[in-house]
Amino acid sequence: MTTPKKLFIKTYGCQMNVYDSERMAEALGGQGYVETQTPDDADMILLNTCHIREKAAEKIYSELGRYKGLKADKPDLKIGVAGCVAQAEGQEIMRRQPMVDLVVGPQSYHRLPEMEAKTRAGEKALDTDFPEEDKFEKLKSRPKAQRGPTAFLTVQEGCDKFCAFCVVPYTRGAEVSRPVDRILTEARDLVERGVREITLLGQNVNAYHGAGPDGSEYTLAKLIWDLDKVDGLERIRFTTSHPNDMTDDLIEAHGTCSKLMPYLHLPVQSGSDRILKRMNRSHTADSYLRLIERIRAARPDILMSGDFIVGFPEETEEDFQATLDLVEEVNYGYAYSFKYSTRPGTPAAERPQVDPAQADDRLQRLQALITRQQRDIQNSMVGRTVSVLFEKPGRLPGQMGGKSEYLHAVHVADAPVSVGEIAQVRIVDAAANSLAGVID
Ligand code: 5AD
Ligand code: SF4
């Protein structure tokens, strides 16, 4: 028997990259690779990269620099770059870091086995195509290994919205939805392997429009209702959504589908109509607020989450104030805020930039407000009973940790439950990033 080769994958960025990394590990599993948790004993290092902000991309080059010594000690070590930096920079990566053997874009990673063989033959391998064939189908040979209770499942990829700041339409390409039957097969397979909660992934997941078994076009809500019928699947989530694709049936499903969790990540980016227009968002602050009213009418306890960019080109103090006002009005359970980062090739890169010190100051003010809201909502959970899916033992003996339906991390001391179980938990305390509870 030959000893397996070791693969170290480091994942950056969004949840879709986490999913893609799993698929890449499986694809290379067929080439005799098993995963290792450290680069030190690896035969192949794969960085699955993110290009969304400049810092994320720069991190890759500094990380690659760190592997120079390893490669010098072990000339057989292969180094690959996958994901959105690979897509955006292509050959340039090998030029800047000649020790890189393989560059593979997010749409071509089903070709990894052939690419790996090429590197073993001493050649460089580069593939940043947007091929016709279905990469998910090519990657079907999954080992039936047991899984944890939660999993991601990509149902849609790419984006046609072209927000003026965003590289996604260029790195992930045009919107593509996977057919319903393939998603259901994958979901059932995950459930057989122990999964209780599935998060449906897509850059624009609520624009999902895959083909149903009868050839008709499905909406995301229709797909959710089919998943609702999968026995053993207890919870469904989806991310990330665009306000303009929140269809009536999806809003309604939040009120009527008991497996659909009361949590919605719905980025708005700014509260100023002037800036939203320049961002090419095709919605206003008011239409977003009215949409949230409708969602809350369907599911009053839904926890809202969002993304914000501060310091977008030409943002004034008044524009920023409008963002603070919107945040005040929505009251977010979670929100992610970023300083605008210039992305070459996107329309906003050409616009007059905001003074970086001013952008820093706004980011701090926005984050202070968001943190206060998050804390207040966490604190308001004390005394309430939530349902918790237990994911893993906690740090203390006997302790178990999981997530509530609202995605809050919850810990229970001396919990008489096992991983994968769902139990009703009464919240007794709120810390900065988690809640403590007792089984009800
Ligand atoms: N600069 C800063 N933040 C960005 N995002 C996307 N592109 C940029 C950029 N150029 C943020 C948006 C998006 C999240 C995933 O990343 O808020 O919703
Ligand atoms: Fe980027 Fe999202 Fe806008 Fe698409 S909708 S361009 S992924 S921010």
How many CA within 13 A on the CB side of residue 66? 10
Q: For 397-432, what is the HEC assignment? A: CCCEEEEECCCCEEEECCCCCCCCCEEEEEEEEECC
Token pair of 99 as six digits: 């020790």
Q: Encode pLDDT of 101-121 as tens digits.
A: 999 999 898 899 999 999 999
Q: How confident is the model at residue 143 (pLDDT cuts 50, 70, 90)?
A: low
Q: What percent of the chain has pLDDT over 70?
A: 98
pLDDT at 8: 97
Q: Encode pLDDT of 361-385 as tens digits.
A: 999 999 999 999 999 999 999 999 9
Q: How many CB atoms lie within 10 A of CB 6?
A: 19
pLDDT at 140: 58
Q: Encode pLDDT of 307-325 as tens digits.
A: 999 999 999 999 999 999 9
CATH architecture designation of domain 385-439:
Beta Barrel (2.40)
Residue 241: which region, alpha, beta or left (left: phi > 0; alpha: psi -120 to 50)?
beta
Q: How confident is the model at residue 284 (pLDDT cuts 50, 70, 90)?
A: very high
Q: Encode pLDDT of 178-209 as tens digits.
A: 999 999 999 999 999 999 999 999 999 999 99
Give strand pairing partners of 33: 5
For the cut 90, the answer to whether the pLDDT of residue 231 exceeds it is yes
> CATH code for 5-127?
3.40.50.12160
Angstrom distance (rounded) from CA 258 to CA 230: 13
Q: Encode pLDDT of 238-247 as tens digits.
A: 999 999 999 9
Angstrom distance (rounded) from CA 421 to CA 410: 13
Q: Confirm or reject: Cβ of 314 under 6 Å from ligand 1.
A: no
Token pair of 436 as six digits: 């403590």
Q: Encode pLDDT of 40-90 as tens digits.
A: 999 999 999 999 998 877 889 999 999 989 999 998 999 999 999 999 999
What average pLDDT does the chain have?
94
Q: Confirm or reject: Cβ of 166 under 6 Å from ligand 1.
A: yes
pLDDT at 194: 95
Q: Report the length, in residues, of the chain.
A: 440
Q: Coil, strand or helix: which one is 62?
A: helix
Q: How confident is the model at residue 130 (pLDDT cuts 50, 70, 90)?
A: confident
Burial of 297 (0-12, 13-18, 19+ CB in 10 A): exposed
For the cut 80, the answer to whether the pLDDT of residue 261 exceeds it is yes
Token pair of 168 as six digits: 């996604």
Q: What percent of the chain has pLDDT over 90?
A: 87
pLDDT at 55: 83
Asked if residues 125 and 103 have their Cβ atoms less than 8 Å apart, the reply is: yes
Q: Confirm or reject: Cβ of 269 under 6 Å from ligand 1.
A: yes
Which ligand has its closest atom nearest to the C-alpha of 161?
Answer: 2
Domain spans of the chain, in order of start: 5-127, 385-439
First-to-last C-alpha distance (Å) of the chain: 52
Angstrom distance (rounded) from CA 196 to CA 190: 8
Provide the residue type at 112 as one letter: L
Q: How many CB atoms lie within 10 A of CB 122?
A: 7
Give strand pairing partners of 78: 44
Q: Coil, strand or helix: which one is 314?
A: coil
For residue 295, the CA-to-ligand 1 centroid distance in Å is 24
Give strand pairing partners of 237: 199
Among 118-132, 138-152, 333-347, 391-405, the minimum mean pLDDT is found in: 138-152
Token pair of 166 as six digits: 């965003």
Token pair of 250 as six digits: 């999806």
Q: Confirm or reject: Cβ of 166 under 6 Å from ligand 2.
A: yes
Angstrom distance (rounded) from CA 359 to CA 191: 45
Q: Confirm or reject: Cβ of 340 under 6 Å from ligand 1.
A: yes
Out of 307, 339, 342, 354, mutate this one to test ligand 1's pocket (max ligand atoms within 8 Å of CB): namely 307
180-192 and 220-228 are packed helices; what angle lies between their axes, rounded to 10 degrees? 40
Out of 168, 270, 307, mutate this one to test ligand 2's pocket (max ligand atoms within 8 Å of CB): namely 168
Burial of 337 (0-12, 13-18, 19+ CB in 10 A): buried
Q: Confirm or reject: Cβ of 51 under 6 Å from ligand 2.
A: no
| CA-closest candidate to residue 241, choices 228, 253, 256 | 253
Alpha helices in 127-282 (DSSP H): 135-138, 168-171, 180-192, 220-228, 248-256, 273-278
Q: Encode pLDDT of 247-258 as tens digits.
A: 999 999 999 999
Which residue is associated with the tokens 């690896």?
42
Higher pLDDT, 53 or 130: 53
Q: How confident is the model at residue 1 (pLDDT cuts 50, 70, 90)?
A: low
For residue 348, the CA-to-ligand 2 centroid distance in Å is 13
Q: Coil, strand or helix: which one is 348?
A: helix
H helix or E strand, kind and range, residue 22 = helix 15-29
Q: Confirm or reject: Cβ of 161 under 6 Å from ligand 2.
A: yes
Give strand pairing partners of 6: 34
Angstrom distance (rounded) from CA 268 to CA 53: 17
The set of residues, in sequence order, having a beta carbon less than 8 Å from that of 274 and lying 6+ positions away, is 319
Q: Coil, strand or helix: which one is 355?
A: coil
For the cut 90, the answer to whether the pLDDT of residue 134 exceeds it is no
Burial of 239 (0-12, 13-18, 19+ CB in 10 A): buried
Out of 240, 336, 338, mutate this one to test ligand 1's pocket (max ligand atoms within 8 Å of CB): namely 338
Asked if residues 234 and 259 have their Cβ atoms less than 8 Å apart, the reply is: yes
Report CA 95 to chain centroid distance, whole Å: 30
| CA-closest candidate to residue 60, choices 32, 36, 34, 88 | 88
Alpha helices in 303-415 (DSSP H): 317-330, 356-380
